[in-house]
Every structure is written in C-alpha cells, then in structure tokens.
Structure 1
Amino acid sequence: MHLLLPLFAAVVFALGSMVYKRAFTEGAGVVHALVVNNLVLGLIFLPLLAISPDPVPWSLAHLPVVTASVFVVGHLLNVLALQSGDVSVATPLLGAKVIFVALVGWCAFGVRLNAGQWLAAALATAGVLAMGLTDRRTSGRLGLTTATALGSAAAFAFTDVMIQTWGSRFGVMNFLPLQFAALAILSMATLPFFGLRSLRAPRAAWKWIAGAAALSAIQALTITGTIAVWRDAAGVNVVYATRGLWSIALVWVAGPYLGNTERHTAGSRQMLQRLLGATLILLAVVLTFRQGV
C-alpha cells in the first residue's frame, strides 16, 4: 500500500516539470528553477534535524556537502534539459538513473553484472535512442535535451550511491537536512555568476515558479519520507520511474491547459515513439531491480 506514495510523487514530479516549462515560457530563467527551488527544499528539510534521534557527527559534515555538490549539478542539468527541450523527452530520460547506478558500480567499483543486468542496459539504451531520435526538425535542441537529461540522470545516480553509502553512517535524519541545506547554499552561491538581476522575472511567471517549487518540495518529501519509514528503496524507485510515462500522459491530456504544445508540435507519431522509449526505460528499471541492484 505504501507504494501508492511514490506513484503520487511520480505524478507530482511530471506535473512540476510541466509547470516549470510554463514558467520558462512566461519569462522565468535557470536561476529561478535552481536557486528558488533549492532554497525551498533546504528550508523544508531543515526541521528534520530537530526530530533526529541521533547526534550530528560533525566530523563527517563534508559528506552531505559533497553529495549536495553532485546533486546541484544534476539539478542544473535537469533544468537545462527542461528549458531546451520537451517535457515528454527530458523527464522519461531521468528513468535511466537506475541503470547508471549499476554501471557506476561496474566501472568504478568492479561490481560484476549478470546477463539480466546487461539486458537492462541494452533496453535502456534502446529507450534512449527511441526518445532521442524524435522530432528531427529540432535535432540540435533535442540533442542538447538528451545529453543534459542523461547527464542529470548520471549525477543523480552518483547522489543515490552517496546517500546509500554515507547516509547510514551519518544518520538519515541528519544527512538529508544537511544535504539540502548545503544544496540551498551552493545554489545561492551561483548568483554572482548569473547576476542578481537574473532573479527578476515577469509577474506572470512568479505564480508558475512558486507552483513548481511547491510541487518539487511535495514530491521530494514524499519520496524521502516513504523510503525512511518503509525502507523499501528498490520498490519505491521502480514505481517512481513511472514519472516518464506520466509526463507523456500529462502532456497529452493536460498540456493544453498549461500552455504546453508538445502534443501538436511533435505529432502523434513522435509522441508514440517517445512513449515506446519511456516504456523501454521503465522495463529496464524493473529488470534491474529484479536482478538485485
């Protein structure tokens, strides 16, 4: 029954991606999705420190900071993917994160992959190709979307490995709030690069920025809370990987209400190809977890 929560989070994530896309259309920039969003996440998670049953091991405080550094790279790449391309391409490609976790283990730590895991990698590759070859009329931008989305998935895979490895040593209730606090600080540190004027946005954009940040916080709390309470990270991540399918469904059904035109600009044939790619990636995720990764 608890797996209904990551299903809810998957829908919220897909909806949040569409809302951010609308915010960009209304004049929001990368800095709003990066700084404002991560500042909200930092504030939302900070109260967990007050209810943590374990003392904070300050001698290991660099661990959540390192994790936050990788997370902010992943988040930035995700934002760039959404800004440069279609939600129905960028969001499903994030499902490749689980495959990256397996490949990181193989490349960096010498973990042996069995035949089923290699099959999962092949399915994920086929799914990525199916997604990346759609809409040739904008192939330049689509190539950027595919590259940044896959880069984001890889960065989030490293983040997952770090949380899994270091979180138990640190205490999850301590690790997560410090990680997201560091994420907020690191994100704000990018302001000199973007310039303070970059925070300005048309009034019409701010309601979409606020809505997207709220949806981001809801899905983050739902996922982390479900894993913390039920300790079923594998099952949670499999269900959460459906966000790619939900993004395509929402683009098709709710897109017109959110000013999203992907359904019409891509066309039915290419949307079906994206659906095929998202399905292959989801099958690869399920197969990966069935193999025990």
Structure 2
Amino acid sequence: MDAQIAQLLDGKALAQKIQTELQQRIHELQGKIGRSPGLAVLMVGDNPASAAYVRNKERACEKVGIASFGQHFPSETTQTELEQVIHSLNRDERVDGILVQLPLPDHLDAVALLHQIDPNKDADGLHAVNLGRLVRGESGLRSCTPAGVMRLLAEYQINLKGKQAVVVGRSILVGKPMALMLLEADATVTIAHSRTHDLAAITRNADILIAAVGRSNLIAGDMVKPGAVVVDVGMNRITDDVGNSRLVGDVNFDEVKSVAAYLTPVPGGVGPMTVAILLQNTVWSYSQKSS
C-alpha cells in the first residue's frame, strides 16, 4: 500500500477566489464612495526580490480594481523624506492603504516609519495600534501573512479548537501575530524560536505546525507528528551546484509530505495568501468610508 501523501493547502487557488470576491465588493461600494480603493506601496532602493513583490502586488491591485499610488525611491532617500511622503498619503483621501516594502536600506528605521502610518491605513496590519487590537480581540487590520494562514486553514475546514499549535519563529511580522490569531481561534499555542532547546520534541507534539523562521528545510520529516497540519511560511532561495536557483520553504517538503495530513507548498501556499489579505485589508479600510 502506498504511503499516505498530505493534501496540499492551495493558497494560489484560494487567493484567486478572494480576489474575485473583492472585485465584486469594490463594484458594489464604488457607487456609494464615488471612487476606487487606493493602495500606496513605498519601495526604497533596488532589491530585486522586493521589486518582484511590488510588481506582483500592483498587478493584483489592477486585477481587482484597486488604484496603485506606489512610489519608488532611490537608496539614499532619508528618513525625513519618507516620513513626509507617508504624512501626505495619510491625508490623501484617495489612499486607503499604505505599505512600506521591507527590507529597507540599513540607514532607515523601518519601525519608526511604520509608526508614521495612520493605523486605519496600515495595510500590512503591523502598526502597534493594530497589533494592540489583535491582542484585545478587537476588529481592525490584521498582519497579512498570519491572517492569510488563518483564512487558508478555515477554507479547508481545519478545526483549531483545543488543538496543540506550535509556531516556530517569533517575528513581529509572522510569529507573534500568528500565535495570537491561533489563540483567538481556541488553539493551545507554543512559540518556539532559535533559543528553544530540543525543537523536535516540541514540534512532534503539534497538531498544527507553523514554520516561519527563514531557514531552508529546517523542519524534517521526523520532527512532525503523523497526521499534523503543516504550514510553511518560509521563502528561501537556494542554488544548486550547477547554479540553478529555486524557492524552498522552512519545511523539508519531500520528507514531510508522507507524514502530515495537510501541507502548504512553496511556492503557491502562503505567498499568494499574503497578497490577497493585503488587498482585503485595503478594501476593508475603503469600506469604512461608506458607513
């Protein structure tokens, strides 16, 4: 008998479904609000990965009917110049979402810039006010990647109540908000990180295992509980001996697919969901204008 192969959690297909729903929602709201929703993505410097992400976001905006107010700045742009741009976007009635594309050049303080964004236009859901709303369980803009993971689990009707969830990684981008969202869904949550002793002993207890550290193939097959749900947030570019590069996650896909019940592919799992939630956040801010 063949070994059980995990069912793939298809983020790409779900992201397309969300985009279609957003298109409808924008169509309904446009008459009331009198304009399209607007998103401003600010990019500094010429990081090729960032440029690809920004293009991807702008294409997705165009597809659903969100106007792009993106701006691209040279690497030597100062903190003050960027703050002034953010302040003018905060005041711009056509802009519902503002996003600073990370990473930024070393001389810029990303957190300080983030705090200049109007919390109600914080499309990335990372402003301290929005993280505070998440902690308190209040409605508001949610961090895109963890919110995308939650939406993906919901789509496949994966029950989280009372389940043991382990989040590997404690970043403010993914790990911490992810743990809070799982807690909100009544899971029992453990956060593991680079200082954790015997990571495998902890991950083997997980009914739901979320890997978000940015280390390729960190989670091996023998670290996963049989029948677990494994979500791979990692996006790592690796190059083989002959110079071909490809994207892999934090999970060793080939090993884990015969142990887990559900598994996200990389690419095509969490990545498209992050962009879908970014658009959803922008439309949510936009929809507040009609109330």
TM-score (norm 1): 0.24
- Which structure has more relative contact order (CA 8 Å, sep 6+)? It is 1
Larger fraction in strand: 2
Greater C-alpha radius of gyration: 2
Larger fraction in helix: 1
